[in-house]
Chains A and B, each alone.
Chain A
Amino acid sequence: MGMDATLPAPWRIAWRRPESAAGDVFTWAVEPVDGTGSSFLPGQFNMLYAYGIGEVPVSISSDPAGTPWLHTIRAVGSVTRPMAALKVGEVIGLRGPYGSAWPLVAAEGGDLLIVAGGLGLAPLRSAIYQALRRRSHYRGVYVLYGTRSAADVLFADELAAWRDGGQIEVAVTVDRATPDWSGEVGVVTRLIHRAGFDPATTTALLCGPEIMMRFAVLALQQRGVPDKAIHLSLERNMKCAVGYCGHCQLGPHFVCRDGPVLAWPRLSNLLGVMEL
């Protein structure tokens, strides 16, 4: 990182793109004002600071081999809503990247299964880019994506391009069909039962609402994917992001430092327990 890990550096919003019809989801491309970038691993996140307002953790959704860095953000509250109003050229604070990465290298040699729900596709997009670049190192690469409705499909153009490109298998399902949707309907766990991956050699990467991930784990176990091959990215409220403050504690883990990507055997007794 080469800087005080808790001190945000100034980064400029290079461009901005709306990602949802409702306008609540947008992508920011950001560049360091002083020009010195660094590198990140798929799955890692940055702390983004809207000056004078507050700081939030956001995953990096771009290709780790390229710049600028992209962050895909949903405006939900007191920090992310004002962020949605910032304009191209404005400066934000950024510190990171932080946290653990998807085990993409360890997964090489077998099937790679990516299961994303809703906005959970954003932290997995960087993993998909990397897997595409190293495609020959995997047997099959499967992307299973579930979201609320046709209007909520994130990165719809890219999903279509990946599917048409034929290098990876892409399946998209929505919970609620509208007349304009001719694709699959039903929760994403159903796609797990149908996908053609080989459970014995599969590494599964999951990101989405926690309830969705719990049922996805169950579906993976039913298919015979070993627990240690199942990896989840978790979200917890964060403050320091470097393992000092304890805000992000989940049982014995600090999500900012030990996570956000954690293997299922470390989580099986913790998820779904009230108040953790």
Chain B
Amino acid sequence: MNLRELVDSQRFCQGLTPGQCTGLAACAGERSFAPGDYLLRQHAVADTFYLVLSGEVQIRLAVPGQGVVTLETIGPDEAVGWSWFVPPHRCQFDAHAVLPTRTLAFAAAPLRALMEQDPTVGYAVLKTLVGTLTQRVQSCRLQVLDVYAPPGA
């Protein structure tokens, strides 16, 4: 699949016109990471929106006193990072490839500009992002509930 076909095959392109997909493809590139490589670094400028095509990525946070804690793992068809969308556009976590990982990487500034200019594109991308966020929030709530704890623990 070439880059354009990859972009077209993403969920958010379904329902968009070829012209709108061209706009999205213009912000995108394919980027691969070897195990141990970082997609995002905590505190760095969040300038990229990644969609994982294959591989596995860990979201990690350095916690004083606990070292680096892995909060979740991200797999194929899932988005990595939303700080690129929300000012001040700084990464809150590390994202680190565990397996050889292929991604579709969108440059944040032109993507935001495109979403601003064409609300239909903006809405399509946001739907993907909100879907991801919903899953993550639900996961976090269940993790906080500690559902597997022994009764009375």
Contact = CB atoms under 8 A, between A and B. Distances in A.
B135 A190 contact: yes
A185 B58 contact: yes
B145 A186 contact: no
Residues of A in contact with B, size category: 20 to 34
Contact of B152 (A76, A176, A183): A76
Contact of A175 (B69, B98, B143): B143
Contact of A186 (B67, B69, B73, B152): B73
Contacts, number: 74
Contact of B148 (A24, A76, A118, A182): A118
Counting chain B residues whose Cβ lies within 8 A of the other chain, the interface size class is 20 to 34
Nearest to A119: B148
A118 B72 contact: no
B69 A177 contact: yes
Interface in B95-153: 98, 135, 138-139, 142-143, 145-152
Interface in B51-69: 56, 58, 67, 69
Interface stretch (A43-51, A63-71, A97-105, A207-215): A207-215
B73 A173 contact: yes
A74 B150 CA distance: 8
B77 A194 contact: yes
Contacts of A173: 73
Given A175-B143, A193-B135, A185 B151 contact: no
B147 A211 contact: yes
A183 B143 CA distance: 16
B34 interface: no
A173 B142 CA distance: 13
Q: Which of A24, A117, A186, A190 has the most CB of B within 10 A?
A: A186
Interface in A181-214: 181-187, 189-190, 193-194, 208-209, 211-212
A215 B142 contact: yes
Contact of B147 (A181, A184, A190, A209): A209
B15 to A, nearest CB: 19
Given A185-B72, A189-B139, A212-B142, A76 B56 contact: no
Contact of B143 (A74, A76, A176, A184): A176
26 contacts: A74-B150, A76-B152, A117-B147, A117-B148, A147-B148, A152-B148, A177-B69, A177-B71, A179-B67, A181-B70, A182-B98, A184-B56, A184-B75, A186-B72, A186-B143, A187-B139, A187-B143, A189-B142, A190-B135, A190-B139, A194-B75, A194-B76, A208-B148, A209-B148, A212-B142, A212-B147
